[in-house]
Amino acid sequence: DSLLGEVLVVELNTAEPWPENATLYQPLREDQILLSDCASSLAVQAYLRMCGLPVRVCCRANAEYMSPSGKVPFIHVGNQVVSELGPIVQFTKAKGHSLSDGLDDVQRAEMKAYMELVNNMLLTAELYIQWCDDTTSSEITRPRYSSPYSWPLNHILAYQKQWEVRRKMNAIGWAGKTLEQVYEDVSQCCQALSQRLGTQPYFFNKQPTELDALVFGHLFTILTTRLTSDELSEKIKSYSNLLSFCRRIEQTYFEEQDRDVKITIKEKL
């Protein structure tokens, strides 16, 4: 009986419509959020917009500590909290919203491989530049990360985070890399993405998938974030089709959707 009850509860949960008050939490936009977190948050926002699932963005100084995984962004939907793009994609699929249902098994495997490439290369490079490059770390990362907190907590939290990221870099073999080698990794990743995209509007032709949302989140954020050097964004600017891709998603899923929302609100008024 109890097992049947659990199955029914799961089925009832998956059949729920998307609530109007769904909320995405991220760190403070102006003063605190870092490049890597901003990219991850934008990827999730793009994915949800592509699915047609509205979400309110809420900025909180302690978003990282509110998250069940310690990672941002996370979404609060009904009575459930889910963090990071991968689990959020699975969560929306369980509710009947998917961008990759039209792909066959080979395409799905290819999509996952390219998503791993982005996470292993672009996201890791963002973390490396933020926390392992001394100039970026002292001038941008630590002041922003610790901005909501007063002394001495601000220093403690920033150094704790830096230690955590550097330990991760050590574990994956990135600690010994130079900044030039990291830029070269980014360049190779962009080259692979550019070749896969070709002249198509999206990676799997006419319709976007979660891969498009992930790539957009990282590339657009790198292109629009001020760092101590322009070298990271220059790597992306070498590929005109990636720039057009970013502009296409920005126009289709952010500018046009926001304009439609404003028109609808005006009509209601």
Q: Is the pTM of this model over 0.75?
A: yes
The rounded radius of gyration (Å) of the Cα atoms in the chain is: 19
250 contacts 215 by C-beta, under 8 angstroms: no
The pLDDT value recorded for residue 149 is 86
The pLDDT value recorded for residue 258 is 67
The pLDDT value recorded for residue 1 is 46
**How far apart (Å, rounded) are the C-alpha atoms in residues 6 and 78?**
18
**How far apart (Å, rounded) are the C-alpha atoms in residues 200 and 232?**
24
Kindly give the residue spans of alpha helices, DSSP state H, lying in 95-152. 105-117, 124-131, 134-136, 142-145
Backbone angles phi, psi at 184, to 5 degrees: -65, -40
DSSP structure string for 37-90: HHHHHHHHHHHHHHHT---EEEE-TTHHHHSTTS-S-EEEETTEEEESHHHHHH
The pLDDT value recorded for residue 30 is 86
pLDDT tens for each residue of the chain, 269 residues long: 444 444 444 444 454 688 889 999 999 998 899 999 999 999 999 999 999 999 999 999 999 999 999 999 999 998 999 999 999 999 999 999 999 999 999 999 999 999 999 999 999 999 999 999 999 999 999 999 999 889 998 999 999 999 999 999 999 999 999 999 999 999 999 999 999 999 999 999 789 999 999 999 999 999 999 999 999 999 999 999 999 999 999 999 998 766 665 543 344 33
- Digit-coded pLDDT (tens) for 185-217: 999 999 999 999 999 999 997 899 999 999 999
The pLDDT value recorded for residue 11 is 45
Residue 21 CB neighbours (<10 A) = 10
The pLDDT value recorded for residue 257 is 65
- Digit-coded pLDDT (tens) for 114-129: 999 999 999 999 999 9
139 contacts 93 by C-beta, under 8 angstroms: no
The pLDDT value recorded for residue 4 is 44
- Angle 52-56-57 from CA coordinates, rounded to 5°: 115
User: Quick one: DSSP state of residue 17?
Assistant: P
